[in-house]
Copies of this chain bind each other. A is one copy, B any other.
Amino acid sequence: MDVKTACLGVLSLGDATGYEIKKQFEDGPFSHFFQAGFGSIYPALNDLLANGLVTRADPGLDGRADRKVYAITDAGQRALTRSLAEPAPSDKIRSDALVMLSFAEHMTEAHRTEIFDFYLNDVRERARRLAENTPEDDTSHRAVIAGLGHAIYETFARYLAENRTAFLNAANEATDPPEADRPVLTHKNADHTGTPS
C-alpha cells in the first residue's frame, strides 16, 4: 500500500486535486491508519499520470488557474483492484512516546508525568476529533473502518487514564538515581565522564 495506490483509492471516490487528496488522508475515514505528505503525493500523481492511471484536467479551462484536478481512468481502476487483491502486510504501530515511557525509570518524576499526561491528552484529542469527523448516520463499510479508529483511541485513552497512578507509582519505585534523594553527601559522581571499563 504505497502512496500511489492510496491516491488511486481516494480518486476512486471522486475527482480531486493533490491538495484535496492530502486532506482526505488527514480527515478521511482511514486517517488514523495512513499518512502522506505533499513530497510523496505530487510525485505519485505525476507517476500515475505518466502511466495513464489517472487523467489531469488542464487548469485554466475551468475556474482557478492553479488547480490540477485528477480523475481515475479505467486502467487506474483496474490497477487499484489489482493492488487490493494482493495480501496486506501486517500492521505497524510505531509509538515513540510509549517506547520512551517504557524506559520511564531513566526520567525525572516531573518529566515522566509530563510525557504521560501529554500523551494522554493527545490520544483524547484524537479520539474527540475522530468522533467529530464521523457522521452518526453513516452505515457504510468505510464508516465501520473509521469507527475502528475511534474505538482504538478510546481504548488508548481509557486505559491510560485508568492506569495512570499505577504507572507513575511503579516508575517512581524503579527510578535508578533519584537525583535528589542523594544529596551532596557521599561523593561528587555527577560528572564522571562515562569512561567504559
Contacts and interface: CB of A to CB of B under 8 A. Distances in A.
A155 interface: yes
Interface stretch (A31-39, A59-67, A128-136, A180-188): A31-39
A115 interface: yes
A156 B110 CA distance: 33
Copy tally for this chain in the complex stands at: 2
A151 B159 contact: yes
A196 B78 CA distance: 13
A101 B141 contact: yes
Interface residues of chain A: helix, strand, loop or mixed (majority): helix
Q: Which of under 10, 10 to 19, 20 to 34, or 35 or more describes the interface residues of A? A: 35 or more
Interface string A68-107: 0000011111101100110111111111111111111111
Interface of A: 1, 6, 9, 12, 29-30, 32-35, 52-53, 55, 73-78, 80-81, 84-85, 87-107, 111, 115, 118-119, 122, 139-145, 147-148, 151-152, 155-156, 159-160, 163, 166-168, 170-171, 174, 192-197
